[in-house]
Structure 1
Amino acid sequence: MIHAADADLVILGAGLAGLSLAARLARECSGPRVVLLEPRTAYRDDRSWCFWRPEQHDLSYLVSRRWKTWTFSDVGGRNVRHQVPGLAYQYVRGSDFYMSAQADIAESPRVELRLGVRAGTVTAVLGGVRVETNAGTLLARQVIDTRPRASAAMLYQSFVGLELERDRPLPFDPDEVTLMGSLASDAEGLRFVYALPLGPNRAIVEWTRFGTAPIDRDRLIPELDQVLTGLGLADARRVRTEGGVLAMGLGRQAGLPIEGVVHAGNAGGALRAASGYGFLRIARWAQLCADRLLAGREAVGHPEEPRLRRTFDRIFLQAVRAHPERTAEYFLALSDGVPPAALVRFLSDGARAADYARIISSLPWSPFIAQLAAPTRFTPAPAAPVGAAVIATRSTTTSGQ
């Protein structure tokens, strides 16, 4: 017996990807019936997303802070300062995004967000897809799965951060982002400080480790405490915490594809192999997918990476895996030897052939030439934990994502 579908589209997971698509569909006067399932029961201010854009753009209403200068530095005090005329590094606070998306959804009679509902088994059935949840069964014509998944990756960015405040000024220039500060590396990989000054007396400070295995937060927090002490911030009030693991160069999706199901979000390709910046990638996908659904076509996942970008990212990550102790050298070479506009284009998916040439010429040749003919196989590290707080788009391999 064929039952009528409960929805035209069910979206599994209401994080950045799920909410971005649902909110776009909710703002339309007509469109598919959408049910969005999310296991959390409420949203917290637990994310930061950053990207480069001109001062005004279609997502400006979400941006709470902009900076025109960003810096790289090493532990020896070397400092490289970047600016690109017409571009600003821009910050979206998680709570602002969540509130905006939920407000759009609440106004729509066709889009429904169900919090506290965890999806389980997903099965193709005659005429659609069946989703088993802790609140019952749903039948949908199509499903978009944005849930995180445990998967081995080539490299991991593990980080923890704090939003800090105190009555006297903090030791940061409020007009300048520390993109990768106090860069250092050893056999475990890269480590650096990321700082977003939100005003003279307020900032987000993150401590990041970049290597072949995810790092437990219990290890990162004491290290961040040491960093804050070194910066003279041990007495600052701790407003909130961020943290997570960015899996760089994910392995293939396990299992056979399910008819009527596509994957999106970080686990579905939103997070590029060699860049933690995913916010705009997800926004572009959400617009593409919304346009298709509104035209009566099937949903789609993230587009495949162009061959040149995919090849370069693979070579870069493999070189980092092969020589983790040289990672700080690589990033300082990029920051010092590549024009800021070219480096931003690379991190933001807009690199040209000439940009790749500048990047390659700035790096030490031998470790990268050795990877040209190397296979893409690697010995997997333990998979990043499902449900880890992932902030796409915040620091570089530079993240997203």
Structure 2
Amino acid sequence: MNGRTSDRRTEIAIVGGGLAGGLIALALRRQHPEMQVTLLEAGEALGGNHRWSWFDDDLDAAGRELLAGFRKTRWNGYSVRFPAYRRRLDSRYNSLASPDFDAALRRELSQDTIHTGKRVATLDAKGVTLEDGARISARAVIDCRDASPNRHLRGGWQVFMGRHVRTPRPHGIEQPVIMDAAVSQHGAYRFVYVLPLGASELFVEDTYYADSPVLDRSALSGRIDRYLDAHRLQGEIVGGETGVLPVITGGDFAAYQAELRTEGVALAGARGGFVHPLTSYTLPFAVENALAIAADAELPGEQLAALLEARARRHWSRTGFYRMLGSMLFGAARPEERYRIFQRFYRLSPGLIERFYAGQSHLADKARVLTGKPPVSIFRAIGALLGKGAPLVADREQA
């Protein structure tokens, strides 16, 4: 629905139609089909311009059921490449593109639920005011807008540029290459991510774990060109995406929550802190939260906000191991040597790798990651763990 939103009343107003907001609306529709839900998105499409990927075991049965209606690309296995070796793994891997996310939600949600092209001016515990002056009163408000850099969090950055390519002939790639780190490192941990979307279609993404949030479009585009040339994969460009994501290594999460808190408004998605601090994965946590919110959807707004804030604190606590590893990545390894950490990691068992990405590492997993010959200097690692790290305060882009 794209017409003017007049003053109205709804039970739950969701601000932000990205992954978190869209999945919350879908879970509410499934569990409470009669509940009035309003999903507000500033852009013209739900999900923006993104691609989300995950392993089968990242989700439980309920999570897989929530995503069952989305058109996805699936593969039985994937590979990684490093200077020292190449490895194939048999784990099932999935990918969902934002146009398919948008299409599925429009099929399943009622017509009066989705409101795109609606920018929010203010929100509070009792509703949302749009830039056009319209007011939407609500029993509960959930803020799922994008996260922004924050002085209370510390770490580095994941900078990326992706390109969707249609090749003039079949490319012959059957499984994804999750990490091709056998490439020049350029002052960061650099790897190329390759998804075969069809016999003649590829998604190729150049990613950097960098100290700076600068996204140099010209440099990254040129490097993708050279990668495609080297692998004889050049073709028609049919789409793409860019991004700069925080890699969180520490900080004061209570202060972060206090700064973003609007009394009585629930925070979800990356804005609420529901992200893997090292990989920037969000999908497993967005699914988990959507189902949890649907289960308690009849709570008063203030109680729902408190529930989500407590869930975010628990998430921060249980992901401390990954923040520690991030500190070692940025603080203990020289930029051109950071690939050695992942090169060692991908020699471990497939199950451990999957649990790592889902943020579900067992105690034995953590011990296994930390034992053996370290890929970085012990002294530099100790220094990294004792240091505070750089504040996540700005993102910049170069043409």
On the 8 A contact 1:248/1:274 being kept in 2, the answer is: yes
Q: Does 1:66 pair with 2:74? A: yes
Residues 154-193 of structure 1 aligned to structure 2 (within 5 Å) = 154-170=155-171, 172-174=172-174, 176-183=175-182, 188-193=187-192
Q: Distance in 2 between the 1:283 and 1:73 partners?
A: 30
Q: CA deviation at 1:21?
A: 0.7
What is the identity, as a one-letter code, of the residue corresponding to 2:213? P
The Cα of 1:173 is off from its aligned counterpart by 2.7
Q: Hey, what does 2:368 align to over in structure 1?
A: 358
Structure 1: which 5+ runs fail to align? 387-401
Partners in 1 of 2:38 and 2:196 — Cα distance? 38
Measure, in 1, the Cα distance between the counterparts of 2:328 and 2:47.
37
Q: 1:368 to 1:78 in 2, by over 3 A?
A: same
Residue 370 of structure 1 corresponds to which residue in structure 2?
A: 382
Q: Aligned ranges for residues 24-103 of structure 1 at < 5 Å?
A: 24-30=27-33, 32-43=35-46, 46-53=49-56, 57-58=64-65, 59-74=67-82, 76=83, 78-84=85-91, 88-103=92-107
- Residues 82 and 129 (structure 1 numbering): CA distance in 2 closer, same or farther, change over 3 Å? same
> What pairs with 1:88-127 in structure 2 (closer than 5 Å)?
88-106=92-110, 112-124=113-125
Is the 8 Å Cα contact of residues 206 and 224 (structure 2) preserved in structure 1?
yes
Structure 1 counterpart of 2:391 = 380
Q: TM-score if structure 1 supplies the norm length? A: 0.82
Secondary structure at the counterpart of residue 238 of structure 1: strand
Deviation at 1:221, TM superposition (A): 1.8
User: For the residues of structure 2 that align with 1:368 and 1:282, how far apart are their CA atoms?
Assistant: 35
385 and 12 in structure 1: CA distance in 2 versus 1, 3 angstrom threshold: farther
Task: In structure 2, give the amino acid aligned to 1:374.
Answer: L
1:282 matched to 2:297? The reply is no
Moved more, 114-123 or 351-360: 114-123
Q: Shift of the alpha carbon at 1:309?
A: 4.1
**Alpha-carbon distance, 1:142 to partner:** 2.2
Distance verdict in 2 for CA 1:30–1:241, change over 3 Å:
closer
Tell me the distance in 2 between the aligned counterparts of 1:96 and 1:340.
29
Task: Compare the two structures and name the one with the higher helix fraction.
Answer: 2
Offset at residue 135 of structure 1 (A): 4.1
Is 2:323 aligned against 1:314?
Answer: yes
SS of residue in 1 equivalent to 2:371? helix
Pairwise CA distance, 1:269: 1.7
Structure 1 counterpart SS, 2:323: helix
Residue 18 of structure 1 aligns with which residue? Answer: 21
Instruction: Tell me by how many angstroms 1:29 deviates.
Output: 4.9
What secondary structure, in the 3-state scheme, does the structure 2 residue paired with 1:383 have? coil
TM-score (norm 2): 0.82
Unaligned runs of at least 5 residues, structure 2: 1-6
Task: Tell me by how many angstroms 1:15 deviates.
Answer: 0.8
**Partner of residue 341, structure 2:** 330
What's 2:4 paired with? none
Shift of 1:306: 5.4
Give the aligned residue type for 2:304. Answer: E
* Residues 149 and 49 (structure 1), Cα distance of their counterparts in 2 relative to 1, 3 Å cut: closer
Superposition pairs of residues 295-310 of structure 1, within 5 angstroms: 298-299=304-305, 300-301=307-308, 302-305=311-314, 309-310=318-319
Tell which deviates more after alignment, 16-25 or 135-144.
135-144
- 1:318: how far off? 1.0
Verify the 8 A CA contact 2:80 2:178 in the aligned structure 1. Answer: yes
